[in-house]
């Protein structure tokens, strides 16, 4: 019997799905079906990543083994592909994405492939996708999926495009932003959220100094693809917040985008989102002011996009301290009463706990003075908000005192390098002299966000504590230069965020092609054409002058070292009105390749949200090389989120040791781990099929942790129980 034929089952499933989306409530007897599935990114509309399933628990976790492994067929070792997908599981079907951004439907109990959708028509897809969105009305069941600049609507039963949606089943996300962005990069790595018949969606946009697309939030009709509303995160004239920018910022500044996903409180009709920094990330002289609604927690009317409240966690961002993940919707006991709240994880290691109705902090937040930028033309904000409670869950200071103590040689080497660098507390602004940043530009907290146990009102958040360094340089050289040197400057500011600075593939964006050997793959004419027209996720750089394009090609191909360019010839089209740019995000390691600051370098923290205090904090992951030397777990840089269950466990991959871990949620004790063949830089899901609980995680490797690529989905379960003996035998 097919799903569509079994109407009573479908009706109950759709009702349970609606429950987890926050749209309706169900009698207690029917809520169990909701817990057996994982129908939405993060497990529920509240983003809690919590499951009431308890078949797998502390007493039997040692028996947990792979039930099946599915291997994708489109992994690329170089550039290293990755999988960051949090699967959704509905009626025994798991919907996942591959390293090449294909959409796959798998039997959730066996891993057998049911269908696949290739948005690239056989070409190689690159990029990141963290999941998909499900919507249903009767027999009309759809999967909404973004690849490149296109939002696709697919039939959930067979993966075929829904031709009545947009143009033949897809819409172009570059359209409908109230600004011409056709030659700019617009996509969405994290799925949107459904409210009734609306898909509310954020975006990924370019972050370089040239013109970038704005990160406005939009709602689309799930049936037709028509845009129903837009919220300008960079306000237009006459809109609230417009005065917090330079007068023309709404025409030229990009970013302020929600790239980490959203949560939904349907009982209030509110959608909650966190936004990122405005671009350019590291210079804001062209966007003078506080810059609302960049770096804000937003509460909007889901039906209309109207702002209800906002809370800004970074003013006039110069550090790329985006809000990287959706706020968790939580309920806490505060001052003797129960309060609905949102808990927002940040890259800085701050956790803001805000009243869900008003946006007011439940714990005090202090505006503290921070160092002033010395870049000409910059007007950095004099203060930044610091929550008094909970305490920071990541390191926020780096000086000589915090330099590594791993061994004397490592410490001496790091201290020597620090002699030429600026160090201090968090919010040290980028300057012409190299400055150390901790947490680094990838956090602290990241897109995996936090999981929340509503039975104990405990939040679990993983974070990284590794330092990087940054330095600024003039976008327009003040004197004569060479073509290659000019190209290096342009490349460092516009390309290195994706491709790395010294032309290898950037570990922070492994899905982009390495440019280290570009001259072996492309001719000069082909590189020039690529700059002018763009390709795939790479936007066009047609705004560059002929001279600027020639300079970039000279740098990439290792030519132009003797070609002199007079300062008078330079127009800086590539940088627009940005006079100073960063030379890149530079990792900072000791001579053996380990982080330069003291351990732990990655942690998992349990936070009591009633009191705003830590329950425990433990290192997350370890370096096998140090483990062999007898070092206790050091923690590592980590990407991906956690899952907490009623079985008393916190499941998480995330760490560079490429292991899948389970921790006792009450004590933080590591109770189980499994060595996968690649890193699990994704958030796991759990569900039940035929009375058996499964835990599913992508082991796609690659990614920002810079480990080898992987191609697998690992699904774990307890051994099946033997059937009872037949007493008649």
Mean per-residue pLDDT over the chain, rounded? 90
Phi and psi angles of residue 695, each rounded to the nearest 5 degrees, phi first: -125, 125
Do residues 685 and 696 lie in contact, with contact meaning Cβ atoms separated by under 8 Å?
yes
Closest residue by Cα to residue 34 from 47, 56, 52, 17:
17
Closest residue by Cα to residue 265 from 29, 44, 94:
44
Return the DSSP state at 589: B
- Annotate 511-553 with three-state secondary structure: CCCCCCCHHHHCCHHHHHHHHHHCECCECCCCCCCHHHHHHHH
Question: pLDDT digit string (tens) for 570-598?
Answer: 666 666 688 899 988 899 999 999 999 99
28-36 helix and 7-20 helix, angle to the nearest 10 degrees? 80
Confidence of residue 10 (pLDDT cuts 50, 70, 90): very low
Reply yes or no on whether the pLDDT at 169 is more than 90: yes
Question: pLDDT digit string (tens) for 53-85?
Answer: 999 999 999 999 999 999 999 999 988 999 999
The rounded distance, in Å, linking the Cα atoms of 56 and 665 is 13
Q: Which two tokens stand for residue 493?
A: 């500011």
Reply yes or no on whether the pLDDT at 32 is more than 60: no
Q: What angle do CA 2, 113, 259 make, to 5 degrees?
A: 100
The rounded distance, in Å, linking the Cα atoms of 7 and 547 is 65
Do residues 478 and 559 lie in contact, with contact meaning Cβ atoms separated by under 8 Å?
no
Percent of the chain having pLDDT more than 70? Answer: 87
The rounded distance, in Å, linking the Cα atoms of 223 and 209 is 37
Confidence of residue 199 (pLDDT cuts 50, 70, 90): very high
The rounded distance, in Å, linking the Cα atoms of 42 and 449 is 9
Do residues 301 and 282 lie in contact, with contact meaning Cβ atoms separated by under 8 Å?
no
Confidence of residue 31 (pLDDT cuts 50, 70, 90): very low
Return the higher-pLDDT residue of 24 and 166: 166
Return the higher-pLDDT residue of 280 and 485: 280
The rounded distance, in Å, linking the Cα atoms of 620 and 461 is 11
Least confident of 503-512, 602-611, 669-678: 503-512
> What is the helix (H) or strand (E) element at residue 459, kind and residue range?
strand 458-464
Q: Does domain 50-470+589-717 have CATH number 3.50.50.100?
A: no
Number of other residues whose CB lies within 10 A of the CB of residue 102: 21
pLDDT at position 18: 43
Reply yes or no on whether the pLDDT at 127 is more than 90: no
Do residues 702 and 82 lie in contact, with contact meaning Cβ atoms separated by under 8 Å?
yes
Reply yes or no on whether the pLDDT at 515 is more than 80: no
Number of other residues whose CB lies within 10 A of the CB of residue 603: 24
Cis peptide before 310 (omega within 30 of 0): no
Strand intervals (E) in 356-419: 365-369, 383-387, 397-398
Do residues 120 and 101 lie in contact, with contact meaning Cβ atoms separated by under 8 Å?
yes
The rounded distance, in Å, linking the Cα atoms of 483 and 516 is 18
Q: Is the dihedral of CA 156, 161, 167, 170 positive or negative?
A: positive
Mean pLDDT of 39-54: 98
Confidence of residue 523 (pLDDT cuts 50, 70, 90): confident
Number of residues that this document lists for the chain: 729
CATH 1.10.760.10 spans which residues of the chain?
476-577
Mean pLDDT of 6-26: 41
Least confident of 198-202, 578-582, 632-636: 578-582
Confidence of residue 202 (pLDDT cuts 50, 70, 90): very high
Burial class of residue 161, CB neighbours in 10 A (0-12, 13-18, 19+):
middle
First-last CA distance in the chain: 33
Q: Is the dihedral of CA 401, 593, 682, 121 positive or negative?
A: positive
Mean pLDDT of 632-642: 98
Reply yes or no on whether the pLDDT at 25 is more than 60: no
**Strands 337-345, 709-717: parallel, antiparallel or unpaired by DSSP?**
unpaired
Do residues 96 and 683 lie in contact, with contact meaning Cβ atoms separated by under 8 Å?
no
Phi and psi angles of residue 409, each rounded to the nearest 5 degrees, phi first: -65, -40
Q: Does domain 476-577 have CATH number 1.10.760.10?
A: yes
**Cα Rg, the chain, nearest whole Å:** 25
Sheet bearing 103-107, strands edge to edge: 88-90, 93-97, 103-107, 113-117
pLDDT at position 476: 76
Q: What are the C-alpha distances in Å from 209 to residues 79, 96, 493, 551?
A: 25, 34, 7, 17
Least confident of 15-24, 272-281, 700-709: 15-24
Do residues 379 and 366 lie in contact, with contact meaning Cβ atoms separated by under 8 Å?
no
CATH 2.140.10.10 spans which residues of the chain?
50-470+589-717
Question: pLDDT digit string (tens) for 137-162?
Answer: 999 999 999 999 999 999 999 999 99
């Amino acid at each position: 019997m097919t799903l569509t034929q079994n109407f009573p089952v479908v009706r109950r499933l759709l009702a349970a799905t609606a429950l987890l989306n926050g749209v309706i409530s169900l009698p207690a007897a029917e809520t169990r079906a909701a817990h057996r599935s994982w129908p939405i990114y993060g497990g529920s509309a509240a983003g809690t990543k919590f499951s009431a399933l308890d078949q797998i628990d502390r007493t039997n976790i040692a028996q947990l083994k792979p039930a099946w492994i599915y291997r994708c067929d489109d992994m690329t070792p170089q550039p290293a592909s990755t999988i960051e997908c949090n699967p959704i599981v509905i009626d025994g079907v798991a919907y996942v994405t591959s390293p090449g951004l294909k959409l796959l439907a798998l039997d959730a109990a066996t891993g057998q492939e049911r269908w696949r959708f290739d948005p690239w028509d056989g070409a190689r897809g690159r990029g990141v996708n963290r999941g998909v969105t499900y919507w249903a009305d009767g027999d009309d069941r759809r999967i909404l999926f973004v690849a490149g600049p296109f939002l696709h609507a697919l039939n959930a039963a067979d993966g075929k495009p829904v031709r009545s949606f947009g143009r033949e089943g897809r819409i172009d996300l570059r359209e409908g932003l109230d600004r011409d962005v056709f030659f700019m990069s617009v996509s969405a790595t994290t799925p949107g959220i459904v409210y009734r018949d609306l898909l509310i969606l954020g975006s990924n946009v370019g972050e370089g100094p040239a013109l970038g697309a704005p990160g406005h939030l939009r709602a689309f009709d799930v049936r037709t693809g028509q845009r129903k509303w837009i919220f300008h995160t960079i306000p237009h004239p006459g809109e609230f917040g417009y005065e917090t920018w330079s007068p023309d910022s709404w025409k030229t500044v990009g970013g302020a985008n929600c790239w980490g996903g959203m949560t939904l409180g349907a009982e209030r009709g509110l959608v909650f989102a966190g936004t990122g920094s405005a671009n350019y990330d590291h210079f804001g002289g062209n966007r003078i002011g506080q810059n609302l609604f960049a770096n804000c927690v937003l509460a909007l009317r889901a039906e209309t996009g109207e702002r209800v409240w906002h809370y800004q966690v970074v003013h006039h961002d110069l550090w790329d301290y985006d809000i990287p993940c959706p706020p968790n919707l939580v309920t806490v006991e505060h001052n003797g009463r129960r309060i609905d709240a949102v808990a927002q994880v940040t890259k800085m290691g701050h956790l803001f706990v805000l009243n869900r109705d008003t946006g007011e902090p439940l714990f005090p937040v202090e505006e503290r003075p921070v160092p002033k930028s010395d870049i000409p033309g910059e007007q950095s904000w004099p203060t930044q908000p610091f929550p008094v409670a909970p305490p920071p869950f990541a390191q926020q200071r780096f000086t000589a005192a915090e330099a590594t103590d791993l061994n004397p040689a490592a410490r001496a080497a790091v201290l020597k390098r620090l002699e030429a660098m600026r160090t201090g507390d968090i919010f040290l602004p980028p300057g012409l002299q190299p400055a150390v940043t901790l947490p680094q530009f990838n956090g602290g907290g990241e897109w995996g966000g936090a999981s929340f146990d509503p039975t104990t009102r405990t939040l679990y958040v993983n974070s990284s504590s590794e330092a990087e360094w940054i330095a600024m340089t003039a976008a327009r050289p003040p004197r004569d230069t060479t073509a290659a040197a000019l190209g290096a400057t342009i490349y460092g500011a516009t390309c290195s965020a994706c491709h790395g600075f010294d032309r290898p593939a950037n570990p922070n964006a492994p899905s982009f092609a390495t440019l280290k050997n570009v001259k072996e793959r492309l001719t000069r004419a082909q590189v020039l054409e690529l700059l002018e027209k763009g390709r795939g996720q790479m936007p066009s750089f047609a705004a560059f002058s002929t001279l600027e394009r020639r300079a970039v090609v000279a740098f990439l191909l290792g030519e132009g070292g003797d070609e002199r360019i007079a300062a008078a010839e330079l127009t800086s089209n590539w940088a627009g009105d940005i006079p100073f740019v960063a030379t890149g995000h530079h990792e900072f390691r000791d001579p053996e390749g380990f982080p330069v600051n003291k351990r732990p370098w990655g942690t998992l923290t349990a936070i009591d949200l009633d009191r705003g205090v830590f329950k425990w904090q433990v290192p997350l992951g370890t370096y096998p090389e140090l483990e062999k030397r007898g070092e206790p777990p050091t923690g590592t840089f980590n990407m991906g989120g956690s899952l907490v269950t009623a079985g008393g466990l916190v499941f998480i991959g995330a760490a560079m040791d490429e292991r899948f871990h389970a921790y006792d949620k009450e004590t933080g004790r590591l109770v189980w781990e499994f060595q996968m063949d690649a890193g699990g830089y994704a958030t796991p899901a759990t569900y039940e099929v035929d009375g058996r609980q499964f835990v599913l995680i992508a082991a796609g490797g690659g990614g920002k942790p810079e480990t080898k690529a992987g191609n697998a989905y690992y699904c774990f379960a307890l051994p099946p129980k033997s059937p009872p003996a037949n007493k008649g035998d």
